[in-house]
Structure 1
Amino acid sequence: MEFCASCGNMLQIQPGIGQRVRFFCPTCPYVCTAINKIVRRQHLVKKELEPIFSGSDAMKFAPKTATTCPRCHNGEAYFKQMQIRSADEPMTTFYKCCNEICNHEWRED
């Protein structure tokens, strides 16, 4: 990213004729050519997610509800509600099937 020397806004790229590329400021008349600019790509590392339902001891105290598992069609599941979006949006409910063979996890927004 390049920033304007006069007003500090982020510069935009304007393709030129041939191989000449230049940066320009959208709010003021500042322009600079992109000669010998270093292009650096940053590789992002995916964050490891913590499981919603962790450990077998935690399941002893988790509340259950009557709902149908989409995988095995069992009629009961553990659930946990969390506010993962803005406060004016409804809570997200996470489920884990009570069938020990299935243990499928899903969510409803």
Structure 2
Amino acid sequence: MSTSFEHIRGKLSFMARQGTVKAQEDQGDNIAAILKAIQDYSTSEREPGCLTYRICRSGDDFFTFEEYANAAAVQEHFEIEGFKNLLKGVGTGTLTVGEPKITYYEEI
């Protein structure tokens, strides 16, 4: 289990466990919309390095499971507008309570 991905050379997966972070009151639907926009972009031809992007929700808890071709594809993902919008909302403290926990895994 790792909190960084730079050392991974091949296909990698990661879990962004927003489930460990609660949405601010009345923000669950906003988080869902942001994640859905990221999913729509990431699973299109515009982000070929993203192999899987799944969103799960239980109330105000969110979980994403993502797979990328390599570390460069993850870095590319971090540069898309939808991801930056998510970070902006998290950074202001108005979208979530705390920050998402991300764990990276290398496929074996």
Alignment TM-score, normalising by the size of structure 1: 0.21
Q: Whose relative contact order is higher, 1 or 2, with alpha carbons under 8 Å and at least 6 apart?
A: 2
More helix by share: 2
* Bigger Cα Rg: 1
Alignment TM-score, normalising by the size of structure 2: 0.21
